[in-house]
């Protein structure tokens, strides 16, 4: 295994950070991905959103949350009164992890070693943006920044993590909302929008 630095790398601007992310070999996921997908959004963002990892579409387009989960996130953000163009959106893991199934590339969950290998990049983004609000979408983002043992559905909402930001919101991943059974969909979606509303300026 490649040595992972303990501290986030220093860099002058995002272009430089993104070049380092593209060249990352901390774990083997780069080998089967098209390219790394770094975060996207203004450096002055008040809110930072952390997802899991790029999916099939994100891997091809090179932008986070560009596929179906991203469409759902965009809609929920709008309903929560938040404008995505002002938000910095990124992932805990920067390369798409997948396994072939016929012609499809099936998403696989990143493991703890891969999450930890990618953490310096996430911390670098976090310290550069220094957002007031961090929104963690799902278990992988929670594992990366809050540590192991967090249960998203039990601890969702505001969580105390002053080392990350003034306000930290933990909620489900939008791809969960795409999978959940029809009967629960609306209720789960409403709860997701309510969690996102906790990021509103007061
Ligand atoms: N799911 C994620 O966690 N991130 C993306 O960028 C897309 C889907």
The number of folded domains in the chain is: 1
CB-ligand 1 contact for 70 (6 Å cutoff): yes
Question: Mean pLDDT over residues 62-69, rounded?
Answer: 98
CB-ligand 1 contact for 144 (6 Å cutoff): no
DSSP state letters, the chain: -PPPPSSPPP-SSHHHHHHHHHT--SSGGGGGSSS----BS-TT-SEEEEES---HHHHHHTSTT-SHHHHHHHHHHHHTT--GGGSEEEESS-S--EEEETTEEEE----HHHHHHHHHHHHHHHHHH--SEEEEEHHHHHHHHH-TT--HHHH-EEE--TTT-SEEEEE--HHHHHHS-HHHHHHHHHHHHHHHHTTS--
Q: Which atom of ligand 1 is nearest to the CA of 92?
A: 3
Q: What is the pTM of this model?
A: 0.97
Looking up residue 28, the CATH number of its domain turns out to be 3.40.470.10
The answer to whether residue 175 sits within a structural domain is: yes
Q: Rounded to the nearest whole angstrom, what is the distance from the C-alpha of residue 5 to the centroid of ligand 1?
A: 24
The answer to whether residue 202 sits within a structural domain is: no
pLDDT at 2 over 80: no
Distance of CA 19 to the CA centre of its chain: 19
Indicate the pLDDT class of residue 83, thresholds 50, 70 and 90.
very high
The answer to whether residue 81 sits within a structural domain is: yes
CB-ligand 1 contact for 90 (6 Å cutoff): no
Question: Mean pLDDT over residues 155-162, rounded?
Answer: 98
User: Which residues are 91's β-sheet partners?
Assistant: 51
The answer to whether residue 1 sits within a structural domain is: no
Indicate the pLDDT class of residue 5, thresholds 50, 70 and 90.
confident
At residue 92, the pLDDT reads: 98
pLDDT at 86 over 80: yes
Q: Rounded to the nearest whole angstrom, what is the distance from the C-alpha of residue 56 to the centroid of ligand 1?
A: 9
At residue 43, the pLDDT reads: 95
Q: Tens digit of pLDDT for each residue in 39-64?
A: 999 999 999 999 999 999 999 999 99
DSSP state letters, 62-101: TSTT-SHHHHHHHHHHHHTT--GGGSEEEESS-S--EEEE
The answer to whether residue 7 sits within a structural domain is: no
Distance of CA 147 to the CA centre of its chain: 15
Average pLDDT, the chain: 96
The answer to whether residue 6 sits within a structural domain is: no
List the residue whose alpha carbon is closest to atom 7 of ligand 1.
65
Q: Which atom of ligand 1 is nearest to the CA of 140?
A: 3
Q: Tens digit of pLDDT for each residue in 159-173?
A: 999 999 999 999 999
Q: Which atom of ligand 1 is nearest to the CA of 173?
A: 3
Q: Rounded to the nearest whole angstrom, what is the distance from the C-alpha of residue 59 to the centroid of ligand 1?
A: 10
CB-ligand 1 contact for 91 (6 Å cutoff): yes
Residue-range definition of the domain harbouring residue 124: 14-197
pLDDT at 123 over 90: yes
Q: Tens digit of pLDDT for each residue in 93-109?
A: 999 999 999 999 999 99
Distance of CA 78 to the CA centre of its chain: 18
């Amino acid at each position: 295994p490649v040595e992972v630095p303990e501290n986030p790398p220093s860099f002058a601007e995002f272009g430089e950070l993104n070049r380092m992310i593209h060249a990352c070999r901390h774990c083997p996921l780069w080998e089967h991905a098209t390219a790394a997908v770094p975060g996207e959004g203004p450096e002055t963002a008040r809110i930072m959103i952390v997802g899991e990892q790029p999916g099939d579409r994100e891997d091809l387009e090179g932008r986070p949350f560009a596929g179906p989960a991203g469409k759902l996130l965009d809609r929920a953000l709008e309903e929560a009164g938040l404008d995505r163009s002002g938000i910095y959106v990124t992932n805990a893991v920067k390369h798409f992890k997948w396994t072939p199934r016929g012609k499809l590339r099936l998403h696989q969950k990143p493991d703890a070693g891969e999450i930890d290998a990618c953490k310096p990049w996430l911390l670098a983004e976090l310290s550069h943006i220094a957002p007031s609000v961090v929104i963690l979408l799902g278990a992988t983002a929670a594992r990366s920044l809050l540590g192991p043992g967090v249960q998203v559905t039990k601890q969702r909402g505001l969580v105390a993590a002053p080392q990350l930001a003034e306000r930290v919101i933990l909620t489900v991943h939008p791809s969960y909302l795409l999978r959940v059974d029809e009967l629960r969909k609306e209720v789960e979606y409403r709860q997701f929008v309510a969690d996102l509303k906790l990021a509103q300026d007061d």
